[in-house]
Structure 1
Amino acid sequence: MKLSFKKWMVLAVAAVCSMGFQSCLDNDDNDAYYLTIPNALVTVKPTGENSFFLQLDDTTTLLPVNMTSSPFGSKEVRALTNFSEVDEPSDGYSKAVHINWIDSILTKNMAPDLGLQNDSIYGTDPVEMVGDWVTIAEDGYLTLRFRTTSSYGSKHFVNLLSTNNPENPYEVEFRHNAYGNTYGEMADGLVAFKLDSLPDTEGKTVKLKLKWNSYSGEKSAEFDYCSRKSTPASASIASERATLSLE
């Protein structure tokens, strides 16, 4: 899995231009430009062999009207997409939409605790978390945009583990193994972790604490988190593409 330059550029441009859209392009180009950037982070949920829907957040569902089957087959993945709302029947979903494009991101389960082997297997290499709109806990996932050094062809193994803190069952840590390739230019990666191995919050919103090793030492952040509510049956998680060469 090589570095996807196109996807990295889409993400980078979206991050800059979302703060000042008019400063990026002239008015005549706005409509065309709008279609090139992601306007949503979603969960792609197959409901059958030839049907699927998109979960926009904890409560909003989208029915694609221009696609019948998921481009990712039976896999449930998190994805960046650009969609347009349309005035068509939504068949019980929140909105009917036209998908202009959609691209999956790396989607993983939480990793098992390997005890004394955690450092050697999962690594302790530093990253910086990027606090933007795609760094969020929703729909039972923790999606993270992170930044680290990367050279051409290098691989990065990223995982999320429970800290097994007896005082906080919702404390997790991000692990990064660069396999010794801790040099090169800074690049961004996107990854989503399914949190269903954490205790059920039973409908309550709790604080999910994320810890990671940054370039200036250990850091942490908190997210509002509520266990995923029931949705139509969908397939198991499978890893998909990412901006860096990720595992």
Structure 2
Amino acid sequence: MKNIKAFALTLVCALLTFSACNHKDSAKAYTALVTYEAENGNARLQLNDSTVLIPSGLKPDKDTVVRALVNFSFTDDLGENSTAPVRNVEVYDIASILTKKPVEDLGIDNGINYGDDPIEIIEDWLTIGEDGYLNLRFSIQRSNPSVAHGIALVKISAGSGDYVFELRHNANGDGYGNFYDGVVAFDLNEFRPSDGSPINVKIKWKGYERQKEDFIKVTFRKQ
């Protein structure tokens, strides 16, 4: 039986251990982002806000809920474009990515506690808001593989339709050298509206040339 593995850094380099990546070659072997969790002793993969994948031969990790990259094929006879809420699949490869919750705003102490080093968000299929998670593909500079970098999403304001976050990077003195990519998922399910409607999230971050900001819509699982 297959076990979920920590994201091997051959496709997209996950924090906090890195391997050099080429933007064009990244994530070739993985075709979808899912939420991996266990249910009644079985593994289930939430493909999007309305579709669950039931994998054969995939051993669940107890009490594990993480975002993951997966390569799979459908094994039922419903067709590739079916919108059925449950699909049976065979999983060829699956790897968890760093999954975290937002952290509290510490005001002037944010830099000291969460870092103030530059970071870039890459716009591709890995940067998306779905199933209550904000998934971000990012790029940073580093030179020493023995130095652990940190990444955090700071909750600046939330509530009454106003959701503002700040992405922080702590290079721990290793903020130079070649650029490396990473993927992280932030769990925003605590901000799910009672009716399950999407939220608009404003993200601010310190880029390598200037301060930046962008909006990403985060959708939530149908209940």
TM-score (normalised: structure 1):
0.74
Residue equivalent to 1:132:
124
Aligned AA (1:213): K
Q: Please give the secondary structure, in 2, of the residue aligned with 1:163.
A: strand
Work out which of the residue numbers 97, 101, 114 in structure 1 matches 2:93.
101
Q: In structure 1, which of residues 50, 53, 57 is the aligned counterpart of residue 44 of structure 2?
A: 53
Unaligned runs of 5+ in 1: 19-33, 231-247
Structure 1 residue 158 corresponds to structure 2 residue 146: no
- Residue identity opposite 1:160 in structure 2: L
Provide closer, same or farther for how the CA distance between residues 165 and 218 of structure 1 changes in structure 2, counting only shifts above 3 A: farther
Instruction: Render the CA deviation track for 1:153-212: whole Å, top value 9, x for unaligned.
Output: 221111111112788621111111111111121000110000023362633233211111
- Asked if 2 retains the 8 angstrom alpha-carbon contact of 1:42 and 1:55, the reply is yes
Which residue of structure 2 aligns with residue 148 of structure 1? Answer: 140
Q: Residue 186 in 1 paired to residue 194 in 2?
A: no
Partner amino acid for 2:109?
Answer: Q
Shift in Å, 1:17: 5.8
Q: Residues 206, 166 of structure 1: CA spacing in aligned structure 2 closer, same or farther, 3 A cutoff? A: closer
Structure with the larger helix share: 1
Contact 1:140 1:226 in 2 (8 A): yes
Q: Is 1:63 matched with 2:71?
A: no
Structure 1 CA distance, aligned partners of 2:68 and 2:211?
29
2:208 matched residue in structure 1: 215
Q: Say whether residues 1:111 and 2:103 are aligned partners.
A: yes
- Would you say the 8 A contact 2:48–2:221 is kept in 1? no
Q: Matched residues, percent identical?
A: 36
Q: Distance in 2 between matches of 1:109 and 1:165?
A: 14
Post-superposition CA distance 1:23-78 (Å, at most 9, x none): xxxxxxxxxxx9x7001110002113x212101111111010232x32x4321000
The whole-number CA distance in structure 1 between the counterparts of 2:25 and 2:97 is 21
Matched with 2:76 is 87
In the comparison of the two structures, how many residue pairs are matched? 207
Distance in 1, matches of 2:194 and 2:160, equals 15
Paired residues of 1:155 and 1:178 also in contact (CA < 8 A): yes
Q: Which has the higher strand share?
A: 2
Gaps of 5+ in 2: 1-6, 14-18, 79-83
Secondary structure at the counterpart of residue 197 of structure 1: helix
> If the length of structure 2 is used for normalisation, what is the TM-score?
0.81
Q: Which of 55, 70, 75 is equivalent to 2:64?
A: 75
Q: Is the 8 A contact 1:113 1:162 kept in 2?
A: yes
Change (3 A) 1:97 1:167: closer
